[in-house]
Amino acid sequence: MTSPDFAEEVLDDLDLLRARDPRGLLPAVAGAGAQVRETARLTEEAGLHRVTGGGRPRGLVIVARREGAVAASVLRALLGPSSPVSVEVVSGPSLPVWTGPSDIAVVATRTGAGTYAVTPAYEAARRGVSLVGIGAEDAPLRAACSAARAPYVALPASRVRHTTLWSLLTPLLLLARELRLLPADAADPDAIAAALDEVATECGPAQESFVNPAKTLALELLDALPVVAAEGPLAGAAATRVVDQLATLAGLPATGFRLPDQRVAACSVLGGPLAPRDGDDFFRDRAEDEGRRLRLLTIRDADAGGHDGAGEREPRSAAVAMDEVLRTAAAHNVPVSGLAEHGDPGRYGRLPHLARQLAVADFSAVYLALALDNERALRP
């Protein structure tokens, strides 16, 4: 296992970071704000009015995997259970049997290639379903959308794998805004991009570890088994992204729990056999410890909502459940990291705050991968 001291030296050495990052993950993550602005412009040029001109659909079917599925989950969480339009997320290649002319199908993929992307596009056209495509400039999906006279958001070839979440989420947000499912100020690309730019300044490689929230988190996770507790559905979508990035980029297993639904399971893990034993001194020098230790990573959402009124579930508030999870962690000497809780989180709107959380998590996963030299190790 890489020692924390050596890992910190790696993270503060710009030349070494560059050498360990052959795909350019760090510049790609740092450019998330520019990615939002560029994708917003490309979405405007694609002409979403061709599918939104007829008003709200009965249902919105989003065909997506990995980053696209996370983007779809974010949109569904934002709309919430009171949305007048149902949102269905499927992995393809088949569309739900109920999909018809009164629905909109969005195929969201970085590549725009493969059966799971192309087949549902042609199937939507055959059934008379309004279609929107998101993918690479020269992808087969673009040809399918062109044949159906459907809008297509053509992503530049410069997009880097595992860093295209905002290229897939931005068109979904703008589509929801044009359908008047989200207020214009709740899905403002400029506000989201500004929040991402701010994180790029705070968490960029030039910022040393002791003042860099993402490097700090990466060092905290270096010898940890992360337990991610997410406060509500929107934070739950972010947790899915965090768990996937840690596993894919750094090879680090993490477990996510969405509160309040999985409060019992989260507390059981934090107080279970992997927790520090009774009498463990939280403040001792852990440099000689062997193996990985539990660490709680919290993702907060102040707008997750209050009690849901469902009498069979207790507690019925995500915030109350989070408080209980934090108490359990404290009682069992499990250290806690709060995702993007530096500065003043309350001054951001809900989506910009989510953008900050996702950006810090992406930076941290990349830093952890580079500290472990995982990027070069995985390349042929």
More confident of the two residues 159 and 312: 159
pLDDT at 368: 96
User: How far is residue 43's CA from residue 151's CA, in Å, rounded to a whole number?
Assistant: 9
Fold classified for 29-187: Rossmann fold (3.40.50)
> What are the φ and ψ backbone dihedral angles of 249, each rounded to 5 degrees?
-85, -45
Q: Which two tokens stand for residue 356?
A: 């900050």
User: How far is residue 76's CA from residue 47's CA, in Å, rounded to a whole number?
Assistant: 23
User: How far is residue 86's CA from residue 81's CA, in Å, rounded to a whole number?
Assistant: 9
Determine the average pLDDT of the residues in 113-139.
95
Q: How confident is the model at residue 300 (pLDDT cuts 50, 70, 90)?
A: very high
Q: Is the fold of 4-23+194-378 the same as that of 29-187?
A: yes
- How far from 240 is each of 8, 26, 85, 176, 251, CA to CA, in Å? 27, 21, 23, 22, 15
Is the per-residue pLDDT at 285 higher than 70?
no
CATH among 3.40.50.2300, 3.40.50.10490, 2.30.30.100, 3.40.50.1700 for 4-23+194-378: 3.40.50.10490
Domain boundaries, the chain: 4-23+194-378, 29-187
- Tell me the pLDDT tens digit for each residue of 179-212: 999 998 889 999 999 999 999 999 999 999 999 9
Half-sphere exposure of 200 (CA within 13 A, CB side): 17
